[in-house]
């Protein structure tokens, strides 16, 4: 190996032994770096996605707890009079989040056909739980009428109009910008019906578990009124259901919620799962 010297005046200074990389060696190093980056980036993306799901699960849990605490404090659920009246028409429950306020055009659902007539996003629930009295968006809690003790049951992040968190429209959105869907057991029969997950096409297990149990739906739901499980009456044994459409922001009323044939509903994040 050749020793290199630099001449300074009449003196030579040794700066060490040095051998330059060849072009082939540089290309090999660059290729290795590219391969490592290709392996690392998907792992980082998956880790970020999992962290987002964990955060959304936490927000869903906080929402459920806030609703339950409100119910314990007032012996009623945080809903508007319109929602309560609509649910009472069939002696049933009510789902908030049936107005499309998310960025995905495929995110759309509604409460069942008449006698239901009232559709609403989750802003009424949020106004009550966070004791927001402004009537700019909704007058449901004007003068603290739905929260007279002025208790802050939910402490959610405020954000822009369609950003994650509670927007200026008081709609609570997940980390992907889609509204949380909230269903409550307004007739207190310990069976909660969600406008989406009650559907046969979504919750009916196919193939059936062994032994055959057509009334047993996906994600622990159950159809108590139909031995064949053919009707849209899959229920959750509990008082509150809160869910997110997941990272893709999409739902499909014709696709199963789980199983080998599950489509866009497979990544939904559920409070009861």
d(CA 167, CA 157): 9
pLDDT (tens digit per residue) in 92-147 = 899 998 876 655 544 556 676 666 788 899 999 999 999 999 999 999 999 999 99
Q: Is the pLDDT of residue 84 over 50?
A: yes
pLDDT of residue 1: 46
d(CA 109, CA 193): 14
Tally Cβ neighbours within 10 Å of residue 166: 21
pLDDT (tens digit per residue) in 202-248 = 999 877 776 778 899 999 999 998 888 889 999 999 999 999 999 98
pLDDT of residue 155: 96
- Between 261 and 255, the higher pLDDT residue: 255
Q: Is the pLDDT of residue 14 over 90?
A: no
d(CA 165, CA 130): 13
Burial 227-247 (b: 16+ CB within 10 A, else e): eebeebbbbbeebbbbbbbbb
Looking at 5-14, 66-75, 193-202, which range is the least confident one? 5-14
Per-residue tokens: 89: 């028409």
Q: What is the mean pLDDT of residues 81-97?
A: 89
Per-residue tokens: 13: 């200074």
pLDDT of residue 240: 98
pLDDT (tens digit per residue) in 15-36 = 455 567 788 878 888 888 888 8
Looking at 73-77, 96-100, 257-261, which range is the least confident one? 257-261
Per-residue tokens: 47: 């880790």
pLDDT of residue 116: 75
Q: Is the pLDDT of residue 261 over 70?
A: no
CA angle 80, 86, 87 (to 5 degrees): 95
- Phi and psi (nearest 5°) for 6? -115, 130
pLDDT of residue 207: 74
Q: Is the pLDDT of residue 6 over 50?
A: no
* 217, 231 Cβ separation under 8 angstroms: no
Output the pTM of the full model.
0.82
d(CA 197, CA 204): 10
CA angle 254, 89, 179 (to 5 degrees): 45
pLDDT of residue 260: 67
pLDDT of residue 76: 96
d(CA 244, CA 270): 7
- SS3 call for 179: strand
């Amino acid at each position: 190996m050749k020793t290199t010297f630099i001449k300074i005046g009449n003196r030579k200074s040794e700066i060490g032994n040095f051998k330059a990389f060849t072009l082939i060696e540089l290309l090999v190093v660059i290729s290795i770096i590219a391969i490592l980056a290709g392996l690392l980036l998907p792992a980082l993306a998956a880790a970020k996605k999992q962290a987002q799901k964990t955060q959304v699960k936490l927000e869903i849990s906080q929402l459920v707890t806030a609703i339950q605490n409100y119910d314990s404090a007032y012996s009623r659920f945080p809903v508007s009079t319109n929602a309560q009246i609509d649910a009472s028409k069939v002696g049933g429950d009510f789902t908030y989040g049936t107005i499309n306020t998310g960025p995905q055009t495929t995110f759309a659902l509604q409460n069942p056909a008449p006698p239901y007539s009232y559709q609403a996003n989750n802003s009424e629930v949020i106004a009550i739980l966070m004791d927001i009295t402004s009537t700019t968006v909704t007058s449901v809690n004007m003068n603290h009428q739905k929260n007279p003790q002025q208790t802050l049951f939910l402490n959610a992040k405020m954000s822009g109009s369609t950003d994650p968190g509670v927007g200026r429209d008081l709609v609570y959105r997940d980390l992907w910008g889609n509204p949380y869907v909230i269903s409550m057991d307004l007739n207190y029969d310990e069976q909660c019906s969600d406008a989406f997950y009650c559907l046969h096409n979504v919750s009916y297990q196919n193939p059936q578990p062994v032994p055959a149990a057509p009334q047993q739906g996906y994600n622990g739901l159950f159809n108590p009124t139909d031995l064949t499980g053919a009707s849209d009456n899959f229920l959750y044994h509990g008082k509150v259901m809160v869910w997110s459409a997941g990272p893709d922001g999409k739902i499909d009323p014709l696709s199963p919620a789980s199983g080998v044939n599950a489509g866009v509903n497979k990544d939904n994040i559920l409070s009861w799962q």
